[in-house]
Every structure is written in structure tokens, then in C-alpha cells.
Chains A and B, each alone.
Chain A
Amino acid sequence: MSAHAIAHEAHGHHEHADPGFFRKYLWSTDHKVIGMQYLFTGMFMAIIGGFTVYVFRMQLAFPGESVPGYGYVNATAYNSLITMHGSIMVFWVAMPVLIASFGNFLIPLMLGCDDMAFPKLNRLSYQIFLLSALVVLSTFFVPGGAFGGAWTSYPPLSASAAYNATPWGAPMWLIAVILEFVAFLLGGINFVTTAMNSRAPGMKMFDVPIVVWMIVLASLVFMGSVGPLVAGAIMLLFDQLIGTGFFNPNTGGDPILWQHLFWFFGHPEVYVVLLPAVGIVAEVMTVFSRKKLFAYRTVVYTALATSVISFFVWAHHQFIAGIDPRMAGIFTVTTLIISVPIAEMMFVYIATMYGGSIRLATPMLWALAFIAEFLIGGVTGIFLGASGADVYFHDTYFVLAHFHYTFFPIAFIGTFAGLTYWFPKMFGRHMNETLGKIHFWGTVVAFNAIFIPLFLAGAGGDHRRIFDYSAFPELASLQPLRQIATIALLVLIAFQPVFLFNFFYSMFRGKRATANPWHANTLEWAAPSPPPHGNFPEMPVVYRGPYEYSVEGREDDYWPQHVPPDDVTVDGPVEAPVAAGGH
């Protein structure tokens, strides 16, 4: 195998002519470049989302005091800040990084293609996404400030500028969200089509790496759930701008309708971002346990089950919104059922590690932390999914802490696992392990120190949507918990420059990586690091599943998918590489 890899390295072909910075990085149709565009845009948006949370957590811990780097926070600004934190982190960080960035980078490489099925559509998808990001960022500077109706945008608060006090921010937020959805619909269609139709010769459905399965299923769930919200967003936009009354009870409309349209998308959305993270963890787990993934097909089937059930749980967000109690009963049952396939996946991962030779490199630490932390998020979800308990917990910090125990592992821990694992492939260099571990421990410990106090505060009755708790003397005893959470947040933020430094320094100065530094099986490691335009010097052919680690009777403890079985000799590539060189 190693000889094979070296041959590939030596082969590494270069561009015939330098296409220039603009064409190469900004106008490229290359899936890897587009993946990087999504990644860097997402990282930038994460910094904005992080800044907003810093400001409003400071206000909550030390009400009425000037926040360093921002100033005094008034009630309207507070609303804008929490709205932007939620929407940016979900729509402009988790979505682009987990689905679009990893999807773009990994799908063609892992399926043995030279690019996506529709490269120009892919470029268009990023451009629309970038436009949506610019629109949402520009709302910080419009009259009235950024939208202040919370990321769930419930009418009548969101429908009328008289209530949300953000006459420009509200419609612009909706336009940005619609644009973002269009971008991900285009991207998702591309992902699904590529995965269905463009796999390497020999790669059957159950030879596809789990992470690709997960991104494709996530794209399908997104495609199936976002439509009603697109329609709802258009209706809400008309309510805001031309005075229709779709969600206005005075004209016969119904504000609860928005909640249904929103959560019909909003709950599957959790699984849209969860599945790619779970897929990333599967890849990392097997490679660093040197063991075959336990029950590959079970993982695929449970992911399918999760995808289907995720369409039938949405009304658990509305237990106290006045829905029929009989309906609440049904949604309690479906919500508790969906924890079964997710728990099954967690068991599968633990079983994968059992008896393996585990290496605690940084990506593996992140993968382990994902399971530990997401488990807390999942278990606390049981309390909220049961309609009886939810009546008490609804709109408290308990919900908020639960939500962050699911989303932080997904959007950050999962992403860090993926980035530290695929970094050598993306940039051809290694990240620093020591810095990686410092960042890991700082982040994970601080994360728990933020949200465990918030669980307690929520159970103590702390309501979510309050800007200044000094007006509520009965909640004053919870102030120390709020302060602990804010201080832990400052620690968490203080550790992130370690990652950014490690990331950008290693990109240029890190130790050079070979084609397959982790000794992994999947096809992306058959390409040089970083892969050139067209990815593979010779288009790979697949002979086996992606997780053949520690196979008995083999000298190496890994068996890459593209290496022919010992008794077969191949005369040459099945597909001539000429077409790939035609660019």
C-alpha cells in the first residue's frame, strides 16, 4: 500500500497555468475550494455569533453595566443580540460548516469522483449563501438594528414592527433566511445526485462511508422539511411589508400556523445538523479504534429511521401554545421514540471502541467528547419531550441548556473532530497535537461549566426571555449561577484563539502530511494531500467496504477501499484519467 501512496505522491500533477487568485479561490467550481469558502465564511460568522453571546451574557450576569467592547445594552439591542446569536449559529455556522463545507469537501473525494455532479450549481449555491450572509450582517447597521424577534420569529412579535421595534431588520432577516434555504436546496440536490449517480466503479450502496450517508440523509431531510417554512417565510414577509394578515388573528389569520410551519422545519433541522456530526464521529471512531465499525447497516437504518421520525415530532415545541392535549400526547410518544435510534447509534459507537486499540489523538478526543456531551443533551430532552414536565420547563433556562447540550456538540465538537481529522487532507499539513489538546480541554471543561449552572437555574424557574433580572427579586438567588455561566463563557472564548492560531499557523508551517497519515481506508486518503484539481491522478476503483480495519491475516491493520485484493491484478485504471486532465 505504502508504495502505492508514494507513487500517487510522485504523480501529483499541477495546474497547467495559474488561473489567478480570483478564478482559483473566488470563482472556482472546484468542490474543495467551495468547501473551504463555506468553512471560512462559517468560521467568520461563528466569531460574530460568539461576540453577540459575549455581550448579552455579560448583561445578564452584570445587568446595567457597560460591556467592554460594546457599551451599555438596552432592551431592544438585547433582543437583537439574542436573535442574531441564534440565527447566525444555526443558519450561518452549523449549516454551512457541517453540511456544506464537509459535504463539499468529502463527498466527491470519498466517492472517488473528480468533482460534484454539477460544479457550476455548486458555485451558485455558495454565492447565494454568501449573499444571505451579507444581508444578515448588514442588518446590524440598518435603522432600528438587527431583527429582534428571536430566531424562531414567532408572530405577532415578528410580524409587526410596532412589536419587534426592528422595521428593517425583520424583513431583511427573512430575506436572508430564504436565500440561505435556496442555497442549501441547490447544494443538497447536488449532494444527493452526486452520491446516487457518481460513485466510483465498484462502490455499492453499503460501501459508502457513513459520513456521506449522513450528509446525504441530512440533505434529504432538509429538502423535505424546509418547503413549508419557505412558504411561511413568504407569508410572513407579506404580513410585514404589504399588510396581509396570514398570522394576524384580527384578520382571521392564525399565529399558531407559523409555529407549525416553523417547527415542521425547525425540528428536522436539528437532525439535519446532527446527522453529519454523527457521521464525522463514526469515521474518527473507527480510524482511531483500529476496528471495523460495529454494525454498519444498523447505523444506516437507524439514521433512516431518525430521518423519517424527525418529521413527526415538531409539535413538542408547542405543548403550551394551546394545541389540543390529545395531540400533545401523540407528539410526546413520537418524541420519546426518536431517542431510540439515536441511543442505538451511541451504543454502536461504544461497541466500536470495545476491544479496539484506541489512540487518543485530538480528533478522537473530540469524538469521545461528542458522545459524552450529546448524551447529556439527549437525556435532558426526555424531560422536555414529555408534555407534562414540559409545562414546567418550557421557556426556562433548562430548555436553553438542553438545546445547547445538543447543538454545541454538533456544531462545535463535531466540527472540531472533523477539522482536526481531515486537516492533513485539506491542507497537506498536520495541526499541532499539544495545542489541539490544550484547546480541547479548555473548550470542553468550560462548555460544561456554562451549561450545568444554566440547567440548575432553569430548574429553579429562571425564565429565558428576560433582559434584566434585577426587576425580578424572586429570581435574585439565581444570580450567582448566571455569573458562573458567564465567566465560564469568557473562559471558553479565551481558548478559541488557540484553535485559530493552530489552524492558520499549521496551514502554512505545520509538519507536512503524507497522503494517508492516519492509515485510514476511505477513498479521500488515496488522493494526494492536498488533492489537486481533479482529485485523483488515477480514478480509484472500489473493492470493499470502508471499515476493514485489523483484518485477520493481513500485515497492515487497515485495508483501503481502492487497493485490489491480493489475487486480482489490474491492468490499468478503468476510467482513463485523460478526462480529468482536460480542465
Chain B
Amino acid sequence: MSSSKPIATTRSVMNLPTGRLALWWVIASEIVIFGGLLGSYIMFRLSHDAWAEQAAITSTLAGATNTFILLTSSLSAVLAHQAAERGDGPRAAKMLRLTVLGGLGFLIVKSIEWTGEIQHGYTITSNLFWSFYYTAAGLHGLHVIAGMICMLIVARAAARNQELQRVEIVGLYWHFVDVVWIFLFPLLYIAK
């Protein structure tokens, strides 16, 4: 099979790049997945005042650090997009890899945080709050890992000035992962 794209891929009836259009739909379907999970959490939370004591145990410092890391990593994703727009593939690749480093930092903080909590006996089966805590943050963590893998793949091609339009698309996905965290952080950490 040759690598040439079908005509269908190159058409743009809506005046939107096909890849970006598809990514909006990916994000739409992801929103509903996280919406279902967080909606369930909020419904429970409203009827369980006792969860506030559990939430007080979570480390707001670790959560805030991760919020800072993740949001900062979006800056390099935007810089990568900017470089790609200029046609500077190697710089876009460099910026994407920097973003991947940010994701890695996020995961490191997260694993230190979780190790401490598990050692203190707060595991996924401790009670319903911790079940939601690990499930929601874990699902988000999987999205961070998926985003990092995608960025590495896109960066490899971008370094050779290929498929530069993908830099923007993977960046959009990364922003979405950020936004999910912005919902998780107050819901799991701040709301005491």
C-alpha cells in the first residue's frame, strides 16, 4: 500500500483541515466520558458531606505543582505549533519533546504523591472517595501518557519536516488533557 492519501482525506468542504475536524470529535467523545465519571462523582459528593474529611487528606501542594507543570507544558505545545506554522519542523519537534518532558514531570509528581498516600493506607478500595480519586486521576493519567506517545511520534516526523499539520492537532489534544486536569484539581483536591 503506498502512502499516498485518498482524495477523501484532502478534501475540505467545511473549510477546516480534516485532521483538526476529527480531533474536535475525539475531544467531544472524551468530554462525555469524563463528564459521566465526574458527574457521578459530583452527585455522590453532594450527598456525602463526610467526603470533605477525606479530601482534606489529599495534598493540595502536589496537585498545585502538577497544575503548574501541566499548564506550563502547554506553552511549549503552543510554541511547537507556532514553529510548525513557520515551517520550522526541527524546532517544532524540539518544543514537542519539551512538552513530553512536562508530561513526564507530571507523572513523576503524581507517582510520588500516590506512593505516599498508598503507604498511609489510602488505597482505591479504602472508600468511595478514594475510589473516585484514583479512577478519575488514573484515567486522566492514561490520557497524559497517550498524549506523550502521540507527541513523540509526531515529533519524529516533524523533525524531518513531514506532516507538520499534525503538530497543531496533537497540541490541541494536549490542551484538552490540561483542561480535564483543571476540572479534576478543584474537584478532588481543593473542595474540602
Query: Which residues of chain A have a CB within 8 Å of any CB of chain B?
Result: 19, 23, 29, 108, 113-119, 185, 188-190, 192-194, 196-199, 203, 223-232, 234-235, 238, 242-246, 251-254, 257, 261, 264, 534, 539, 575, 579-580, 582-583
Give the residue of A23, A229, A234 whose beta carbon is less than 8 angstroms from that of B135: A234
List B contacts of A224 (CB < 8 A): 28-29, 32
List B contacts of A539 (CB < 8 A): 7
State whether B32 touches A223 (Cβ < 8 A): yes
State whether B32 touches A227 (Cβ < 8 A): yes
State whether A245 touches B128 (Cβ < 8 A): yes
Q: How far is the CB of A405 from chain B (nearest CB, A)?
A: 30
State whether B29 touches A242 (Cβ < 8 A): no
Q: How far is the CB of A576 from chain B (nearest CB, A)?
A: 9
| Separation of A116 and B48 alpha carbons in the complex (Å) | 48
- Does B68 count as interface, using CB distance less than 8 angstroms? no
Q: How far is the CB of A540 from chain B (nearest CB, A)?
A: 11
Specify the chain B residue showing the minimal Cβ separation from A260.
B40
Known: A29-B1, A228-B39. A113 touches B6 (CB 8 A): yes
List B contacts of A234 (CB < 8 A): 37, 135, 139
State whether A229 touches B13 (Cβ < 8 A): no
**A-B contacts besides A229-B36, A254-B44, 4 pairs, CB < 8 Å:** A23-B1, A228-B33, A242-B125, A245-B127
Q: Which 4 A-B pairs have the closest CB atoms?
A: A228-B36, A227-B32, A113-B8, A231-B37
| Separation of A42 and B174 alpha carbons in the complex (Å) | 36
State whether A257 touches B25 (Cβ < 8 A): no
Q: How far is the CB of B90 from chain A (nearest CB, A)?
A: 26
State whether B135 touches A189 (Cβ < 8 A): no
List B contacts of A246 (CB < 8 A): 40, 128, 131
State whether B33 touches A190 (Cβ < 8 A): no
State whether B128 touches A114 (Cβ < 8 A): no
State whether B128 touches A232 (Cβ < 8 A): no
Known: A230-B33, A231-B37, A244-B125. A193 touches B21 (CB 8 A): yes
State whether B35 touches A117 (Cβ < 8 A): no
- Does B112 count as interface, using CB distance less than 8 angstroms? no
Specify the chain B residue showing the minimal Cβ separation from A222.
B29
| Separation of A251 and B4 alpha carbons in the complex (Å) | 56
List B contacts of A235 (CB < 8 A): 37, 40, 131, 135
List B contacts of A245 (CB < 8 A): 125, 127-128, 131
Q: How far is the CB of B37 from chain A (nearest CB, A)?
A: 4
List B contacts of A115 (CB < 8 A): 6-9
State whether A238 touches B124 (Cβ < 8 A): yes
State whether A261 touches B40 (Cβ < 8 A): yes
Q: How large is the interface on B (under 10, 10 to 19, 20 to 34, 35 or more residues)?
A: 35 or more
State whether B22 touches A118 (Cβ < 8 A): yes
| Separation of A257 and B10 alpha carbons in the complex (Å) | 44
Residue of B32, B37, B44 with most chain A CB atoms under a 10 A cut-off: B32
Residue of B31, B35, B128 with most chain A CB atoms under a 10 A cut-off: B128
Q: How far is the CB of B88 from chain A (nearest CB, A)?
A: 27
List B contacts of A118 (CB < 8 A): 9, 18, 22
State whether B18 touches A198 (Cβ < 8 A): yes
Known: A227-B29, A251-B128. A575 touches B7 (CB 8 A): yes
| Separation of A118 and B5 alpha carbons in the complex (Å) | 9
| Separation of A243 and B123 alpha carbons in the complex (Å) | 11
State whether B13 touches A227 (Cβ < 8 A): no
State whether A197 touches B18 (Cβ < 8 A): yes
| Separation of A261 and B7 alpha carbons in the complex (Å) | 40
State whether A197 touches B128 (Cβ < 8 A): no
- Does B12 count as interface, using CB distance less than 8 angstroms? yes
List B contacts of A243 (CB < 8 A): 125
Give the residue of B13, B30, B125, B131 whose beta carbon is less than 8 angstroms from that of A196: B13
- Does B61 count as interface, using CB distance less than 8 angstroms? no
List A contacts of B10 (CB < 8 A): 579
State whether B124 touches A190 (Cβ < 8 A): no
- Does B16 count as interface, using CB distance less than 8 angstroms? yes
Q: How far is the CB of A555 from chain B (nearest CB, A)?
A: 33
- Does B46 count as interface, using CB distance less than 8 angstroms? no
**Can you list 25 residue pairs at the A/B interface with Cβ under 8 Å?**
A113-B6, A114-B8, A115-B7, A116-B8, A189-B26, A193-B18, A194-B8, A196-B21, A197-B11, A198-B13, A199-B11, A223-B29, A226-B29, A227-B30, A227-B33, A228-B33, A231-B33, A232-B40, A234-B135, A235-B40, A238-B131, A243-B125, A257-B40, A264-B36, A583-B1
State whether B25 touches A579 (Cβ < 8 A): no
Q: How far is the CB of B184 from chain A (nearest CB, A)?
A: 13
Known: A257-B43, A539-B7. A185 touches B29 (CB 8 A): yes
List A contacts of B127 (CB < 8 A): 245, 251-252
Q: How far is the CB of B117 from chain A (nearest CB, A)?
A: 16
Give the residue of A116, A223, A254 whose beta carbon is less than 8 angstroms from that of B25: A223
Q: How far is the CB of A253 from chain B (nearest CB, A)?
A: 6
Residue of B11, B43, B44 with most chain A CB atoms under a 10 A cut-off: B11
Specify the chain B residue showing the minimal Cβ separation from A224.
B32
- Does B119 count as interface, using CB distance less than 8 angstroms? no
Q: How far is the CB of A368 from chain B (nearest CB, A)?
A: 35
Q: How far is the CB of B106 from chain A (nearest CB, A)?
A: 21
State whether B9 touches A231 (Cβ < 8 A): no
State whether B25 touches A252 (Cβ < 8 A): no
List A contacts of B33 (CB < 8 A): 227-228, 230-231
State whether A582 touches B4 (Cβ < 8 A): yes
Q: How far is the CB of B22 from chain A (nearest CB, A)?
A: 4
| Separation of A254 and B128 alpha carbons in the complex (Å) | 10
| Separation of A246 and B36 alpha carbons in the complex (Å) | 13
List A contacts of B32 (CB < 8 A): 223-228
List A contacts of B13 (CB < 8 A): 196-199, 203
Q: How far is the CB of A107 from chain B (nearest CB, A)?
A: 9
| Separation of A185 and B14 alpha carbons in the complex (Å) | 21
List B contacts of A117 (CB < 8 A): 6, 8-9, 18, 22
Q: How far is the CB of B52 from chain A (nearest CB, A)?
A: 14
Specify the chain B residue showing the minimal Cβ separation from A243.
B125
Give the residue of B8, B9, B30, B35 whose beta carbon is less than 8 angstroms from that of A228: B35
State whether B131 touches A244 (Cβ < 8 A): yes
| Separation of A232 and B139 alpha carbons in the complex (Å) | 12
| Residues from 126 to 156 in B contacting A, C-beta threshold 8 Å | 127-128, 131, 135, 139
Q: How far is the CB of A137 from chain B (nearest CB, A)?
A: 26
| Separation of A58 and B25 alpha carbons in the complex (Å) | 46
Q: How far is the CB of A229 from chain B (nearest CB, A)?
A: 7
Known: A189-B29, A583-B2. A227 touches B128 (CB 8 A): no
Give the residue of B8, B22, B48, B125 whose beta carbon is less than 8 angstroms from that of A108: B8
List A contacts of B31 (CB < 8 A): 227
List B contacts of A575 (CB < 8 A): 7
